[in-house]
Structure 1
């Protein structure tokens, strides 16, 4: 999915203190948070362009390529909420420093990985680092700025993330073509080094909380459940098929997720995912919408560059540049869509937007060799961009308006985690496409685009049926 869309999910997950922390260099604080979060934004998009080169160099099967992506998404999906709570518990500055350091070291390990298992393990560590630094960087902004300045700082943070996500695939493609795939991980090192230096200088120490306890048991069950289900979907749709071991792994994963719900229910408001939020029909519908639409997008941004390179004969740089119009158009149209949703309410935009995205996926059926960018790829991407722009900003506002004030931080953080979980599940299912070659690859890609269109239409239906009508500016409980 695009970094702009992700940043829209993340930008409201700010647990600010009652009074801003006095920082001697507030502009340096903003620069630090931008650099830190850019690590995750760039890495979330740049690796997709490098997948064909990595697969060729490491002789990786389709399931291996899937785990290069999901190794990063799994801890980020499962531990994102825990990362925000850990920042409250142990302090923003030490956790941000630890997250940046872990991400930088893991990036070096990715670049030096001698084989697939080491690369996937390093990607998992990258995801853990991202789960620490992303919510913490936003919390630091919430601590440092207040009022109008806080909104402006978060807006700059989100816009910079969009730019990083837009430039990332094209930059990654150039590096793959000229230096090699390992360079896409090495570009994180100067960013991490600069962020560490700035963080030590600019971010003041804040008192840690001795009251809030971490939901470690919930995080353990969520990680185990998502990991096992993702593994089962990957192998079940790939070389192993639904063997007894794969089905057993899926069953254990489902049990772990059910235990996660039991733990969260017992912890009540102290849970990393308070279940009371799902007492709102609108919030439940918005969560389902997020899972379905962002799942479709997560599959798209892995498969489209792969197909353009493998079947269309594009270079990695060309495939990265091919995606550029989408985040740029999102950046232009999302504010307009947010204003419109403020006038008419979120239900209509969140129904129409995903339906337009589905139409864009159907238009991708035109993509087949010889692939013309201007007639086959660009019209579909523009259609997806228009539909997504109509949904991203209204979704953020609707999530906050669907729960009470006590749950706004948890709701926005959960929405961001669910968006990444959608990408995790989608990536686990695309093995048959990544394993195909020649005309079979194009045919499998077309099947995947139709499935993505159906997922978006289901999301639109969830929005229409479950988001309650509410006057603009009111909460839809």
Structure 2
């Protein structure tokens, strides 16, 4: 037993873990990411059914989705900080166990209140998985292969995202909605066992957990997301303004508090590294562009081109599918070429694809749409993997947790802001909202490209 434990231990000087331990570690990382990504969106398909069976309104049923997303967002940075203090493996394991237990609680829920509470717990478990996922890759793979590891993660995430609606529809066609969550239980148990035996130990910072900062960042990010969401849905500007002020004050106090910390929860120390700061900024801009595109395109297909839901789903598939195919290749290139070059070119291509989507003819053919979606996926695939690698590797080894948490937080902030922008655009341009939104998405991709290219001079 001592030999097994010793084999798992990895200090900062070790270049990855040996085979076959590495394969098992990759498997549990991929399994955890798949479950977390699937459950981030799989409930969307079942919302009408859930609302009907728990006797609640469609509007209230949205909390099944919002509760999960909010829990993930406010806990990513605290959990990544705990990973630096107690080891990434332990946080990943606890996250997996909590996610599995919460999935069982979701499956056993019979009311909106209990389901929402279980989804909050599930979100905390998913955050435990996602907050240290990328950090663990740095210690699983040899340094020369980190790009490949990040590429594999991007592939798994893209496939899970693409298959989410299909998996939900398949389960609902043969079983009631609780099985959407029950299927996670055996997979979660398997993943937790593999994580216990295969994931490496990692260096620990030895600092104390900053509970006050955790509370401040929860208030700052939580109220910011509420304000962005309500802004997009046309809520009172008075309410939105109050929430933005609360978020700004909590955020300001948080930043001031973090400036004097050796290993701050909000990684202000890492933002002093130009490559890290620019990579996070380009990540937020890229996910704003991606979210605007993926939220507005179904409306374009169904409302403007009168396509049915099945055809819409099929036409949405090329984008994530191409990302999944390109990501491993982009990962290999990221180990050889600067992230600024690859990411800038990728975002330029994606921006051109989004612009081409906004210029679709009145009666497009399937080929007209598919090649444009393919271009979007090609561009995002070449951007995402090198950019994620740059975020993780630009941080010192002992601050990998902060970098990993910030990477996931940047993605969620970008997606939330993109979705809110779509709602605002649709309100301002009721007759031509999707086309305008795609044009705005192209601009956001252009900004991401400019920021990405600027890393070449950093």
TM superposition score normalised by structure 1: 0.76
CA positional deviation for 1:255: 1.0
Match of 2:386 in 1: 394
Counterpart of 1:7 in structure 2 is none
- Counterpart CA distance in 2 for 1:141 and 1:112 is 34
Describe the superposition over 1:121-157 as per-residue Cα deviations: whole angstroms up to 9, x where unpaired.
4433222111112344556666667677988777655
Aligned length: 445
Match runs of 1:67-466 below 5 Å = 68-91=64-87, 94-111=90-107, 119-136=115-132, 159-176=155-172, 179=175, 182-199=178-195, 202-203=197-198, 211-242=206-237, 244-267=238-261, 269-305=262-298, 312=306, 314-315=308-309, 319-337=312-330, 345-365=338-358, 374-375=366-367, 377-399=369-391, 410-431=402-423, 440=430, 443-464=432-453, 466=454
CA 1:172–1:105 in structure 2 vs 1: closer, same or farther (change >3 Å)?
same
How far apart in 1 are the matches of 2:136 and 2:451?
35
Native 8 Å contact 2:300 2:435 kept in 1: no
Describe how 1:60-71 pairs up with structure 2 within 5 A: 60-61=58-59, 65=62, 68-71=64-67
Q: Is the 8 A contact 1:366 1:376 kept in 2?
A: no
Structure 2 residues not aligned, in runs of 5+? 1-9
Relative to 1, partners in 2 of residues 1:369 and 1:113: Cα closer, same or farther, differing over 3 Å?
farther
Question: How far off its partner does 1:171 sit?
Answer: 1.8
Q: Report the CA distance shift for 1:77/1:174 in structure 2 as closer, same or farther (over 3 A).
A: same
- Please say if residues 52 and 310 of structure 1, whose CA atoms lie closer than 8 Å, have aligned partners that are also in contact: no
In 1, the alpha carbon distance for the partners of 2:273 and 2:90 equals: 36
- Segments of structure 1 that go 5 or more residues without pairing to the other structure are 1-14, 470-475
1:23/1:204 contact within 8 Å kept: no
TM-score, scaled to structure 2: 0.78
- Contact 2:102–2:119 (Cα < 8 Å) also in 1: yes
- CA distance in 1 between counterparts of 2:123 and 2:218 reads 12
CA gap of 1:162–1:219, structure 2 versus 1, over 3 A, is same
Change (3 A) 1:467 1:147: closer
**Per-residue displacement from partner, 1:340-396 (whole Å, max 9, x unpaired)?**
6666634343333223222322333367998x6724542331121121123123323
2:384 is paired with a residue of what secondary structure? Answer: helix
Q: 1:241 to 1:455 in 2, by over 3 A?
A: farther
Distance 1:102 1:367, change over 3 A: farther
CA distance in 2, matches of 1:229, 1:332: 35
Cα separation, 1, equivalents of 2:19 and 2:88: 13
Give CA-to-partner distance per residue, 1:391-439, whole Å, 9 cap, x none: 1233234435656676555335423321222113333444468999xx9
Call closer, same or farther: CA 1:376–1:336 in 2, change over 3 Å. same
Cα shift readout 1:50-81 (whole Å, capped 9, x = no counterpart): 567667875323x964x554433333333223
Conserved in 2, the CA contact under 8 Å of 1:357 and 1:453? Answer: yes
Distance 1:279 1:97, change over 3 A: closer
Aligned match of 1:467 in 452, 455, 458? 455
In structure 2, the CA distance between the partners of 1:297 and 1:199, relative to structure 1 (3 Å rule), is: same
Indicate the residue corresponding to 2:6 in structure 1: none
Task: Give the secondary-structure state (helix, strand or coil) at the position aligned to 1:273.
Answer: coil
